[in-house]
Chain A
Amino acid sequence: MKLLEVKNLTKAFGGLKAVNNVSFTVEKGEILGLIGPNGSGKTTTFNCINQFYPITSGDILFKGKSISALKTYEICKLGIGRTFQVVKPLARMTVLENVTASAFCRVASIKGAKEVASEVLQFCNLWKDKDKLAKSLPIGGRKRLEIARALATRPDLLLLDETAAGLNPSELDEAIDLIIKMRESGITILIVEHIMKVIMTISDRIHAINFGQTIAEGTPEQVANNPAVIEAYLGEEYAQG
């Protein structure tokens, strides 16, 4: 079943088409990786999906219905959670308060919201930090807090924007485990990630873009061997290395 359909999505900032006629679908239950070099339009795609930015043209369907005229908070209520690449912690609230605030998306009572929050914090291995202020967390903790907050809204589809960037190797393994656990709990995932180890091991399929346009789509192997991808993406990595 198609959970999310992005159809001919275009997003222009002035003259710059950050996303240019991109189409892809996310099937229920899968992990779809979205890759592309810096500035290729991945974050912009996310921002269009949850209407953080209004789209220029094209359409986005969730569970078969267009969501491109909805407000950001309505899209969250419909079941799309997201994390921010540049983390946005509710800095002067505790970790528990951060997650409780988002748990109110599904439950009205404070008791219920706190229950959901504690469950999610344990799931994300943040329980021990629950009483710390969000701003006092190290980057790994903040990235996990982003995920925890999104999870507390009980999403069917989760958009993860570089939640593994900046993590040390052991945190990275934890992050991969967490993503796999989330998928096992029935959440469909659309993930943006630069770290090849992560994206190649966990994605069922990968959609690659460059300069806002699709350059390849397929299994991780197919995409990794695609000449356009190697040139645009891996080529850049080799050049750097």
Chain B
Amino acid sequence: MKKNVILAILGIVFLAFPLVIKSDYYQHLIIIALMWVVIGSSWNLLAGYTGQVSFGHAIFFGIGAYTAGILFSKLGISPWWGMLAGGISAMLIGLFVGWVCFRLRGPYFALATLAGGEIFRLIATNWESLTEGMVGILIIPSFESKLPYYYIALLLAAGCIFAIHLIMQSKWGYYFVSIRENQDAAESLGINTTLYKNVSLLVSSLFTGMAGAFYMNYMGFIDPQVVFSLHYISIMSILVGIVGGVATIMGPAVGAFVMVGVQETFRSAFFGMAPQWISEAHALVFGLLVIFVIMFLANGIVGDWGKIKRNVFRIKASS
């Protein structure tokens, strides 16, 4: 009951936000945060729930972005169809990534995805006839106003969270967590672990690819350094997940807002209030934040919410 009230309030706040706050700057930040809700939640499905920690989610983000960008710039296909196509092509790449990387377990899987991300970045950089290489792809955005983008991002984020919520309450969800907890036991209980790891990866890559295509449409410009970036995409996906709380539905959503907030605070040198060199330190701050979270909030903000309430607000957790 209490949960539904909170969700309703959140819904109203998010629907009304751009109508109340007209600032392009703040609307932009929320749009980016909503996009990160999608990527973080997708990463969390695979890494948090299924236990297959990906260090290469930029693969799917980049493929989604490039699919939308290339379809529009080469074939004139609407970038909004490109969002669907971006999701699907990311899924196809996901199939391939799974075929290669799921032969490996644990840290080896993580390393394989890390390498995969770099490979795709190099392909996008060098296959100039298709991707324009380092020049990147520039398209004219469909809308001048931020409003349509805002609501599309909101729909994508809400849809993604809701889909994952449903999945986690179904057979798939039980299977994903079983695989995470003990792959050998899962296999002996009749779970085709290879199949279901791939299922998790496909859903994850679908949404991440759609987020990438959305980014293309919204920003109007991509290049390999941005959309296949290890630092800005793959690592950021992980940070969003662990800061918010892995294996929780709302964790990555909270993590997305926190991380985009932290990133922007430093990028803008505390909105111009601090000396400019601070903005150079944002990678360092990310590192410190991760150390802090791992030391004090191992389950992330959402996972350790009870602990936060007890210690910070001195409220007794209502369990």
CB within 8 Å of B: which residues of A? 50, 52, 71-73, 76-77, 82, 84, 88-93, 97, 100-102, 104-105, 108, 110, 113, 149-150, 153
Whether B280 sits at the interface, judged by CB under 8 Å, is no
Set of chain B residues within 8 Å of A91, measured between Cβ atoms = 181-182
Whether B6 sits at the interface, judged by CB under 8 Å, is no
A93 vs B175: C-alpha distance when bound (angstroms): 11
A73-B193, A76-B190, A153-B189 known; A88 vs B184 contact (CB < 8 Å):
yes
Tell me the interface secondary structure of chain B in the complex: helix
Set of chain A residues within 8 Å of B185, measured between Cβ atoms = 84, 88-90, 149
Interface locus among B110-118, B166-174, B252-260, B282-290: B166-174
- Count of B residues near A, CB < 8 Å? 19
- Is there contact, CB below 8 Å, between B177 and A50? no
**Nearest chain B CB to A121's CB is how many angstroms away?**
15
CB within 8 Å of A: which residues of B? 169-171, 174-175, 177-178, 181-182, 184-193
- Cross-chain pairs A/B with CB under 8 angstroms, 25 sampled: A73-B187, A73-B189, A76-B190, A84-B185, A84-B188, A88-B182, A88-B188, A89-B181, A89-B182, A89-B185, A90-B185, A91-B182, A97-B174, A97-B177, A101-B178, A102-B189, A102-B190, A104-B190, A104-B191, A105-B190, A108-B171, A113-B171, A113-B174, A153-B189, A153-B190
List the A residue with the shortest CB-CB distance to B177: A93
- Is there contact, CB below 8 Å, between A101 and B184? no
- Is there contact, CB below 8 Å, between B177 and A110? no
Set of chain B residues within 8 Å of A108, measured between Cβ atoms = 171
Residue among A102, A105, A150 with most chain B CB within 10 A: A102
A108 vs B172: C-alpha distance when bound (angstroms): 10
Set of chain A residues within 8 Å of B182, measured between Cβ atoms = 88-91
Set of chain B residues within 8 Å of A102, measured between Cβ atoms = 189-190
A88 vs B187: C-alpha distance when bound (angstroms): 12
**Extra pairs beyond A72-B188, A90-B177, A90-B182 (15, CB < 8 Å):** A71-B192, A73-B188, A76-B189, A82-B188, A88-B188, A89-B182, A90-B181, A90-B186, A92-B177, A93-B178, A97-B174, A101-B174, A102-B189, A104-B171, A104-B191
Set of chain B residues within 8 Å of A105, measured between Cβ atoms = 189-191
Residue among A71, A90, A92 with most chain B CB within 10 A: A90
- Is there contact, CB below 8 Å, between A101 and B192? no
- Is there contact, CB below 8 Å, between A101 and B175? yes
Set of chain B residues within 8 Å of A104, measured between Cβ atoms = 171, 174-175, 190-191
**Nearest chain B CB to A46's CB is how many angstroms away?**
10
Residue among A73, A82, A88, A105 with most chain B CB within 10 A: A73
- Is there contact, CB below 8 Å, between A90 and B178? yes
Set of chain A residues within 8 Å of B188, measured between Cβ atoms = 50, 52, 72-73, 76, 82, 84, 88
Set of chain A residues within 8 Å of B192, measured between Cβ atoms = 71, 73
- Is there contact, CB below 8 Å, between B184 and A52? yes
Set of chain A residues within 8 Å of B175, measured between Cβ atoms = 101, 104
Q: Which of B170, B189, B190 contacts A110 (CB 8 A)?
A: B170
